[in-house]
Amino acid sequence: MSGEGLRALAGFAAGTDVRALPPEVVEKAKACLLYAMAVGVACMRAHQPAQAARALSGAGAGNATRFFDGEKCDPGVAAFANGTLFHARVQDDAHSAGHVGVVVNPAALAMAETQDADGAGLLAALVAGYETALRIGRDHATDLSARGFRTTPTYGVFGAAAAAGRLLRLDQERMTHALSLAANMPGGLREYSVAGSEDFAFHAGTAAQNGILAARLAAAGATSTPTALDGNAGFFRAYGEPGRLYAARLATDLGKVFEMAGVTFKPYPICQFHRGIVRGCSVLRERAGAASLVSLTISMHPFEADFFGVRFAGPFVTFPQTFMSAPFCAALAWARGDATLAGLTDYRAADVLALVPAITIVADPARPRYQPRLEVRLSDAAVLEWEERDGAEGYVLTWDRSCAMALALATEVGLVPANVERLVAAVRGLDKARTLAPMLSAMRDACRAANLSLSKSHFTTSNDTSV
């Protein structure tokens, strides 16, 4: 019966309880939260967070923290600003259904602080949000992306509504209305990756704010239809293809098998399709020794090779052009052995730009998703090959990896380990924490320290308005 999948998701989200969750799921929620916050700290000198803070300055008083400047705001305002902050360097957690963590985490944090929730309540909201968003997106994302919509805000808004609704203690009926209302609020276009514009970061903030609005509307008595997902004129049809059974698996093994277990991380601030490319180039350049690169052929799954912005080969003048460009990411990795934010925003780097024309992208139906194959021809006539064998599974986000990335990101922006160790300790003990105050204080202090220590060379843009 139409609408049953949405009702099931609403029941799960409303009833999520840390005490009933498998320990590995609770640990995964902690890993996702720590990783999101650590990336946020490393985004402090991007210009979009400053713009987001100014755009809604004075828009609403409240108890939720805007991490960019420590101001207290209405939770929707804080979620918009923090979502923008967390997404500004695109190093978010990742899944084939999108980077929903940059939407769910800001919404849950803002609402949890407003509701004076404990750590267990926040973690339950995160699990509710991730599972709802990822299950809605997992069988729909390919068709949605092909139409030019972004998965991150489109599915993230459902996750934000579920997380906020859980913290508002909505029952299944009200949660159903919250998710149905959220189905009217998705958005975010991929044109940024074609045009090279820098509006992408606001997509996460808008979705986080809209998800909170949907939950608050439901709490206030607003209603919507449970067929908002799979009805004849519902979300799946509007954002997908006619006749596809996108809702078939919405509730399959719900509460037993967790989609968020497959959430991955990005070692570099780039499109998740390019993780293996950077890794492979770093390996092959070492094997090449003194020989120089003559040509590099990168074979990718067709969905990735022909994705918006992936083949772009310049000229490069903005960050979205470089982080989406497989040729630029490969050239940077070959020239520097890594792909850092400083490298990705060095648009005049002669050593990198000289290599871009030597790189060819091939759409190969034989390549699995997230498993590129690299073939390099060198100046000494040698041919080197490398392929990603692990796929997305090689980048699954664990607690240990989250801690390591938190330290690495802190180091990149000039923080001493103590700046992030407080945050790690607070998140580690979150399921036993009666208050979120120590974690929020650690996050505010880390952001403040990052803002003081970072130089603008870490994020060079023509319209940098960092404050």
CA–CA distance, 326 with 305 (Å, rounded to integer): 8
pLDDT per residue, tens digit, the chain (467 aa), is 589 999 999 999 999 999 999 999 999 999 999 999 999 999 998 999 999 999 987 777 899 999 999 999 999 999 999 999 999 999 999 999 999 999 999 999 999 999 999 999 999 999 999 999 999 999 999 999 999 999 999 999 999 999 999 999 999 999 999 999 999 999 999 999 999 999 999 999 999 999 999 999 999 999 999 999 999 999 999 999 998 999 999 999 999 999 999 999 999 999 999 999 999 999 999 999 999 999 999 999 999 999 999 999 999 999 999 999 999 999 999 999 999 999 999 999 999 999 999 999 999 999 999 999 999 999 999 999 999 999 999 999 999 999 999 999 999 999 999 989 999 999 999 999 999 999 999 999 999 999 887 654 444 443 443 32
User: CA 23, 28, 31, 32 torsion: positive or negative?
Assistant: negative
Architecture of domain 4-262: Orthogonal Bundle (1.10)
In this structure, what token pair is assigned to residue 418?
Answer: 């103590």
Quote the CA–CA distance of 16 and 131 in Å, as a whole number.
11
Domain ranges of the chain: 4-262, 272-391
Half-sphere exposure of 390 (CA within 13 A, CB side): 11
Q: Name the token pair of 212.
A: 């909170």
Q: Which of 16, 10, 22, 13 is nearest to 256 (CA)?
A: 22
Q: What is the CATH number of domain 272-391?
A: 3.30.1330.120
Give the integer Cα–Cα distance in Å for 321 and 344: 9
How far from 257 is each of 17, 165, 249, 426, CA to CA, in Å? Answer: 15, 22, 12, 27
Q: Are 113 and 436 in contact (CB under 8 A)?
A: yes
**Digit-coded pLDDT (tens) for 378-396:** 999 999 999 999 999 999 9
Single-letter amino acid code for the residue at 405: M
φ, ψ of residue 347 in degrees (nearest 5): -75, -10
**d(Cα 444, Cα 87) in Å, to the nearest integer?**
17
Crossing angle, helix 417-428 and helix 23-41, to 10 degrees? 150
Single out the residue of 317, 323, 410 nearest to residue 91, CA to CA: 323
Angle (CA) 143-148-151 rounded to 5° is: 65
Q: How far apart are CA 10 and CA 215, in angstroms?
A: 11
Predicted pLDDT of residue 460:
42
Amino acid at 102: V
Q: At what angle do helices 119-137 and 4-15 cross, to 10 degrees?
A: 160
- SS3 of residue 432 by DSSP: helix
Burial 327-336 (b: 16+ CB within 10 A, else e): bbbbbbbbbb
> Residue 149 has what DSSP assignment?
B
* Other residues' Cβ atoms within 10 Å of the Cβ of residue 281: 30
Encode pLDDT of 191-210 as tens digits: 999 999 999 999 999 999 99
- Distance set, CA 201 to CA 7, 126, 197 (Å): 31, 21, 10
Phi and psi at 373, nearest 5°, equal: -120, 135
Q: How far apart are the two ends of the chain, measured CA to CA in Å? A: 53
Per-residue pLDDT, 459: 44
Backbone angles phi and psi of 136, in degrees to 5 = -65, -35
Rounded to whole angstroms, how far apart are CA atoms 313 and 53?
33
Other beta carbons within 10 Å of 22: 12
Longest CA span, the chain: 72
**Cα(323)–Cα(214) distance, rounded to whole angstroms?**
32
